[in-house]
Amino acid sequence: MRNVQEELKRIDRVIESGPYRDDWASLSAWRVPQWYEQIKFGIFIHWGVFSVPAFDNEWYSRNMYIKGSRAFEHHVKTYGPQSVFGYKDFIPLFRAERFDPDAWAELFRRAGAQYVIPVAEHHDGFQMYKSQLSHYNAFEMGPRRDVLGELSRACRDRGIIAGASSHRIEHWFFMGHGKDFDSDIHEPLLRGDFYWPAMPEGDHMDIASTPEPTKEFLDDWLLRTCEIIDQYHPSIIYFDWWIQHRSAKPYLKKLAAYYYNRSLEWGQPAVINYKFDAFPFGTAVPDVERGQFAEMKSYAWQADTSVARNSWCYTEGNQYREPADLVCDLVDIVSKNGRLLLNIGPKADGTIPDRDAAILEEIGRWLSVNGEAITGAGVWKKYGEGPTQIPGGHFAEGKRKPFTSADFRFTTANGALYVTALKASEDGVYDIHTLGMPEDAREADFNGVIRSVSVLGTDEPVSFSRGRTLQLRTDFRSDMPVVFKICID
């Protein structure tokens, strides 16, 4: 095991020797890398010990210790009392015997993904990589494989950018309810123990909640995150929400300075994803969970959601979203200067569920035809038009109404303007107000000369006329969003 104090000194030396220091003034010099501006679609992966019970959701390790919860009742009925069969006892059952990183990466390539972010450590505290800081990792237990390392290599071999996510900081409180009754979670708990520290849980959104993480725990968090950086060189690190807690602020500065300095050594500037205001604006890339922004943004951002509405991990009762709905999300997000990170949840044996795979394949087929309007595309003057309003913010996707054939999104690339109808018109007629000519031409959003209009992926002709609206007519029909390419003289 590594010497904690020596590792902390090493981290300080890297910070002192690089251009980024551990203060926000220095970190504000960071800029979004050009490669990140180009990527628009990524895959998120929630896979771990929680995939064994495959019940309720990825918070099973917490909920199974809360009396009265669905997970608690299910656990006692299925596995016995928590004092006899605790969460740690799922580890030997997490064998991943059919895990094939190359097959996963091939699926992601066919899906059109440009980047992949596996969960390196979730709230449950089980590391999906080879670690010198805890024995509770996938290389020493369960699968006995370096999952993160193998998958990162398989993705990079296919030109897919490899990242990693850390949800470690939530482990401070995640197992704490196990101390409320007779279970396998009890003192003494020491650094490196699976359940350590299992502290009382406060308000998740209170950035000053107590008891707050200790220096010992936060030092351990920093070392674990830097271990991922040093061993796997992720181009992106994603953090879940609780890093915004006030106790973490000095550590976030150290982590960012260390990561950005190390990434410059590799020759590819790195990106951090954060939620809410965990990082000062401009020092990293903001992320919106299960939602998106209502309007176009001048800065790069990310939205993350899952193929299932009810869970981020595989469960036997997953409620899946439709591929067309997810493609609409992607188009809307890209038109507003964002990118979509779409989550899947593999099974404990290492296979990707059929429905998860089918959704990715369907998105990939759409992108193989329409990708020029998404991949590497930029924003236009306006993100779009239409009657359907998008509620902005986290956890807002459930509030949305279905899109109509009058809802359009605009992107641009290579001198062309792309107009995506988020729902195909039943009669093949599309009226686009933004591209029409008002009575006073000086008030027009668009005054260009249209040379031609086509539908990507088909030879079906498109006729167009321009009055108060740009009216397009085509015999092409689809169950998916329809992309028009407008070439301009």
Give the pLDDT score at 413.
97
How sure is the predictor about 19, in pLDDT bands with cuts at 50, 70 and 90?
very high
- Per residue in 387-417, pLDDT tens? 999 999 999 998 888 999 999 999 999 999 9
6 pLDDT higher than 90: yes
How sure is the predictor about 55, in pLDDT bands with cuts at 50, 70 and 90?
very high
- Where is pLDDT greater, at 226 or 376? 226
Mean pLDDT across the chain, nearest whole number?
97
Which residues on neighbouring strands pair with residue 417, listed in sequence order?
412, 486
444 pLDDT higher than 90: no
Q: In the chain, where are the structural domains located?
A: 4-289, 378-488
446 pLDDT higher than 90: yes
Whether the CB-CB separation of 129 and 137 falls below 8 Å is answered with yes
144 pLDDT higher than 80: yes
- Per residue in 325-351, pLDDT tens? 999 999 999 999 999 999 999 999 999
439 pLDDT higher than 80: no
364 pLDDT higher than 80: yes
Average pLDDT (421-429) is: 98
142 pLDDT higher than 80: yes
* Residue 69 C-alpha from the chain's centroid: 27
- Which ranges in 80-120 belong to alpha helices (H)? 101-110
- Where is pLDDT greater, at 376 or 325? 325
Dist CA 93 CA 129 (whole Å) = 17
Give the pLDDT score at 442.
80
- Per residue in 145-169, pLDDT tens? 999 999 999 999 999 999 999 999 9
Average pLDDT (1-27) is: 95
Residue among 419, 431, 429 nearest 462 (CA): 429
- Per residue in 208-233, pLDDT tens? 999 999 999 999 999 999 999 999 99
Preceding amide of 188 cis, omega within 30: yes
The CATH number of 4-289 is 3.20.20.80
Dist CA 402 CA 260 (whole Å) = 41
The H or E element containing residue 253 is helix 249-266
Tell me the C-alpha to C-alpha distance, in Å, between residue 318 and each of 55, 195, 265: 9, 28, 42
**Into which CATH architecture does domain 378-488 fall?**
Sandwich (2.60)
Residue among 245, 236, 190 nearest 216 (CA): 190
- Which ranges in 313-441 belong to alpha helices (H)? 323-335, 354-370
Dist CA 127 CA 119 (whole Å) = 9
How sure is the predictor about 297, in pLDDT bands with cuts at 50, 70 and 90?
very high
**Percent of the chain scored above 90 by pLDDT?**
96
Give the pLDDT score at 308.
98
Whether the CB-CB separation of 2 and 130 falls below 8 Å is answered with no
Residues in the chain: 489
Average pLDDT (260-266) is: 97
Give the pLDDT score at 440.
79
Give the pLDDT score at 141.
98
Give the pLDDT score at 376.
86
How sure is the predictor about 85, in pLDDT bands with cuts at 50, 70 and 90?
very high
441 pLDDT higher than 80: no
